């Protein structure tokens, strides 16, 4: 028997099923589920165990060589002409 089936059976057999079902959709029920949510510390711990790195995302200056003559020539002669027909579909 899987854990999911076990809990579904336990929930269905509960005498207060209707009350529990109604509380699931109330503000109090939502707040209770938020309290029971995974904490950031637990998430950090599990991500570390799974091999992920935990770090802040920082904005950085990215140098892509946009001043190089070959890049400027590509942008002016190839990229921008291809993008021109798509301009009506873009946000400004």
**Rounded distance, CA 14 to CA 20, Å?**
9
The pTM of this model reads: 0.31
Residue pair 20/14 in contact (Cβ under 8 Å)? The answer is: yes
Establish if 81 belongs to a structural domain: yes
Establish if 13 belongs to a structural domain: no
Establish if 14 belongs to a structural domain: no
Residue pair 48/54 in contact (Cβ under 8 Å)? The answer is: yes
The per-residue pLDDT string of the chain (92 residues; one tens digit each, 9 = 90 and over) reads: 465 565 556 555 555 555 555 555 566 666 666 666 777 788 888 888 888 887 777 776 666 777 788 888 999 999 999 999 999 888 87
How many folded domains does the chain comprise? 1
Establish if 28 belongs to a structural domain: no
DSSP calls for the chain: --HHHHHHHHHHT-TTHHHHHHHHTSHHHHHHHHHTSPPHHHHHHHHHHTT--------------TTSHHHHHHIIIIIHHHHGGGGGGS--
Establish if 74 belongs to a structural domain: yes
């Amino acid at each position: 028997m899987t854990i999911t089936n076990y809990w579904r059976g336990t929930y269905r057999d509960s005498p207060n099923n209707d009350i529990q079902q109604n509380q699931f959709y109330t503000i109090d029920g939502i707040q209770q589920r938020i309290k029971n949510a995974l904490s950031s510390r637990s998430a950090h711990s599990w991500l570390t165990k799974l091999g992920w790195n935990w770090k802040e995302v920082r904005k950085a200056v990215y140098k892509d060589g946009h001043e190089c003559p070959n890049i400027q020539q590509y942008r002016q002669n190839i990229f921008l002409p291809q993008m021109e027909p798509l301009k009506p579909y873009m946000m400004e």
